[in-house]
């Protein structure tokens, strides 16, 4: 779907369904999705006028070169972006204006400018609903990001050894992904070992990895702003029987959830499929997060896969499948893949089963 078609779809949702007169986009990922122009400060979509991109001087020439289907408005050094948008909305006779997202200070400023002129509201779900369904161009970029990520995971298994520090392993992972073509990391690379592997967001520190530690790798690559997300758990040495048992439970739960992912399935039912197996094994209280989330321009977006989710999966959704067991003071195990919903089921974009131990 081109930028023009995306905005046309958004206009239909905003003006025909939500009965708005104008919509303002501030979220950086939403701006990339709708304009394709880096460095855009905001986008005003009026019902009865041309779409306007607002940019500061440093991005002005690039916006003029790449923003072919928009009016390009320069925000000068002494101008206030919020005031400029409010004045433009007044000129366009916008009576009911919505924004996708806005900080408290900027919202108060906009509300002050709008007082007595127009009604304001937040409609963050309009763009997120569009972004939740990926088109072929987006899927191709996400395949590449997933390939870079899978290469990084292969490197993680090759380089890990006791006595390395967590950040040393993370550096090798990130280098491998960059060398393959990644435009950066999807989020801060996590290499969590020993007790910190029991923290779902354990991060990465200067801790020295010890023989027999559980080590959770959680990271992702980027391809032209599109992201992937992958987690594997490895033992720095020979796995114990308990570690093998826990890993097998999580692996089975991930596979059970994966088999449930298909169009028209309730997102909470996918969560339930993986959670049921972990609960039956006696570790239900130690699976402390939702089974997954959408991935795209951001690493967490719609749809969400958790017990309270009200969404249904559709073809083109890209989600994570990431059950885990986290035992405080002992360690944790998580296995995660980025998964595409296709017509007859699901397809893993991140690949590689790897193993549990180094020996």
Say what the pLDDT of residue 177 is. Answer: 98
* Strand ordering across the sheet containing 214-219: 190-193, 214-219, 230-235
Residue-range domains of the chain with CATH: 3-131 (3.40.350.10), 136-348 (3.90.230.10)
DSSP state of 207: P
- In 81-221, which ranges are continuous DSSP H helix? 81-91, 104-114, 125-131, 136-159, 166-180
**Is 58 buried (19+), middle (13-18) or exposed (0-12) by CB count in 10 A?**
exposed
Say what the pLDDT of residue 117 is. Answer: 85
Cβ neighbours, 10 Å, residue 245 = 15
For the whole model, what pTM was predicted? 0.94
Q: What is the pLDDT along the chain (359 residues), one digit of tens a residue?
A: 567 899 999 999 999 999 999 999 999 999 999 999 988 999 999 999 999 999 999 998 999 888 888 999 999 999 999 999 999 999 999 999 999 999 999 999 999 998 888 999 999 999 999 999 999 999 999 999 999 999 999 999 999 999 999 999 999 999 999 999 999 999 999 999 999 999 999 899 999 999 999 999 999 999 999 999 999 999 999 999 999 999 999 999 999 999 999 999 999 999 999 999 999 999 999 999 999 999 999 999 999 999 999 999 999 999 999 999 999 999 999 999 999 999 999 999 999 876 786 65
Residues 6+ apart with CB under 8 A from 93: 21, 48
**Length of the chain in residues, anyone?**
359
Would you state the structure tokens that stand for residue 284, as one six-digit string? 């239900």
Contact 21, 94 (CB under 8 A): yes
- Cα–Cα distance between 54 and 62 in angstroms, integer? 12
Provide the strand spans (E) within the chain.
Answer: 22-25, 42-46, 52-56, 71-75, 96-99, 119-122, 190-193, 214-219, 222-223, 226-227, 230-235, 292-294, 301-305, 318-321, 324-327, 331-334, 337-342, 345-348
- Cα–Cα distance between 16 and 43 in angstroms, integer? 19
Residues 6+ apart with CB under 8 A from 300: 293, 294
Kind of pairing between the strands at 190-193 and 52-56: unpaired
> Quick one: which of 211, 215, 201, 218 has its CA closest to 238?
211
Would you state the structure tokens that stand for residue 159, as one six-digit string? 């380089």
Contact 302, 129 (CB under 8 A): yes
Say what the pLDDT of residue 277 is. Answer: 97
> Quick one: which of 18, 11, 21 has its CA closest to 117?
21
> Quick one: which of 299, 282, 342, 297 has its CA closest to 317?
342
Say what the pLDDT of residue 1 is. Answer: 58
Say what the pLDDT of residue 359 is. Answer: 56
Say what the pLDDT of residue 66 is. Answer: 87
Locus of tokens 């029987």: 241
First CA to last CA across the chain, in angstroms?
48
Phi, psi of 286 (to 5 degrees): -110, 10
């Amino acid at each position: 779907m081109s930028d023009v078609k995306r905005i046309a779809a958004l206009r239909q949702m905003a003006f025909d369904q939500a009965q708005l007169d104008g919509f303002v986009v501030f979220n950086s990922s939403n701006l990339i999705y709708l304009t394709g122009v880096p460095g855009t400060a905001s986008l005003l979509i009026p019902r009865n006028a041309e779409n306007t991109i607002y940019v500061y001087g440093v991005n002005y020439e690039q916006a003029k070169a790449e923003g072919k289907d928009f009016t390009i408005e320069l925000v000068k050094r002494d101008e206030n972006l919020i005031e400029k948008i409010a004045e433009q909305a007044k000129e366009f006779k916008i009576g009911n204006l919505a924004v996708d997202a806005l900080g408290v200070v900027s919202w108060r400023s906009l509300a002050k400018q709008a007082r007595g002129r127009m009604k304001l509201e937040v409609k963050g779900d309009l763009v997120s609903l569009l972004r939740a369904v990926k088109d072929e161009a987006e899927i191709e970029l996400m395949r590449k990001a997933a390939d870079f990520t899978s290469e990084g995971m292969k490197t993680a298994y090759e380089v890990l050894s006791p006595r390395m520090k967590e950040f040393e392993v993370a550096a090798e992972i990130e280098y491998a992904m960059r060398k393959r073509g990644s435009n950066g990391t999807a989020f801060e690379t996590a290499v969590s070992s020993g007790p910190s592997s029991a923290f779902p967001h354990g991060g990465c520190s200067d801790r020295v990895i010890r023989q027999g530690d559980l080590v959770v790798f959680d990271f992702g690559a980027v391809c032209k702003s599109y992201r992937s997300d992958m987690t594997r758990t490895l033992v720095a040495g020979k796995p114990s029987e308990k570690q093998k048992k826990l890993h097998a439970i999580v692996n089975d739960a991930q596979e059970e959830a994966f088999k449930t992912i298909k169009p028209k399935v309730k997102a909470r039912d996918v969560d339930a499929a993986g959670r049921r197996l972990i609960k039956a094994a006696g570790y239900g209280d130690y699976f402390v997060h939702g089974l997954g989330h959408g991935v795209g321009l951001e690493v967490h977006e719609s749809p969400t896969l958790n017990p309270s989710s009200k969404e249904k999966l559709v073809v083109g959704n890209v989600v994570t499948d990431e059950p885990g067991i986290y035992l405080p003071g002992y360690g944790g195990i998580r296995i995660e893949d980025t998964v595409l919903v296709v017509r007859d089921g699901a397809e893993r974009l991140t690949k590689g089963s790897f193993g549990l131990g180094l020996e």
